Amino acid sequence: MKLIHARLLAVVTAAFSLSACAQNVWIRPGASTQEFDAERYACERDARQSGGFGSGLVGAMEAQAFFNRCMTSRGWRLQEREAAQASVASARSSVQEAIQQRRVCISSVRANPQYAPIADRFSDIQTGRFSFRQMANADIPTPQDAALMTHYLSEARPCVESYMSTIASQLPPAQMQLLRSNTSEGDALSAQLVRRQLSWGEHATRVNQLFDNNSTRDQQQSRR
């Protein structure tokens, strides 16, 4: 079965600057705080290494201007704090809406009576995960069930593609790359299932393991 990611992906589209103008923040749509920290450090380093700004207020202003040009050259721009916060809220809202639309789309496909014979094989529509009972199912899909699942995956594909297209501009590149990778791994598991190379339980277990691995990786990245 297609791996349906149901957890809300964090969207970070703005990062706060350490500039003298405390009411402004640096933003770059789709960028993460990690990217901001790395590029801010690089621009601060370049400013220190370039030197020649002099001392006093004038020197500080010239150093800040150099830093600002460096950040701008990397795609960042200063925006008023309230406007930036509104942008972040809008991006998060867009992702949440996309997730909900995907769930509605998938639910409408599953509601087709022709899928009734495999309805209890589907993952949870909210979480994307499988139950312990489903993981314990040692049955290999019958040819008829495999054909039904193939048809279901084809019908559900536009739901996932629309979702991916919608959030592509909202997520940091690293998260989008991870999502695409997860989707590809889920597709590979689905292919094994419909080729009857996995039991229903093996498929369910591996999908849940994929979720667990991603969760662990997210936690590791958040601690860096």
**pLDDT digit string (tens) for 112-140?**
999 999 999 999 999 999 999 999 999 99
Rounded to a whole number, what is the largest CA-CA distance in the chain? 79
Return the beta strands (E) in the chain as ranges: 14-15, 24-27, 77-80
Indicate the residue type of 171.
L
pLDDT reported for residue 215: 65
Confidence band of 77 (pLDDT split at 50, 70, 90): confident
- Mean pLDDT along residues 36-59: 83
Higher pLDDT, 112 or 18: 112
91-115: per-residue pLDDT in tens? 778 888 999 999 999 999 999 999 9
Residue 213 CA, distance from chain mean position: 15
Which tokens is 52 given? 């020649």
Indicate the residue type of 182.
N
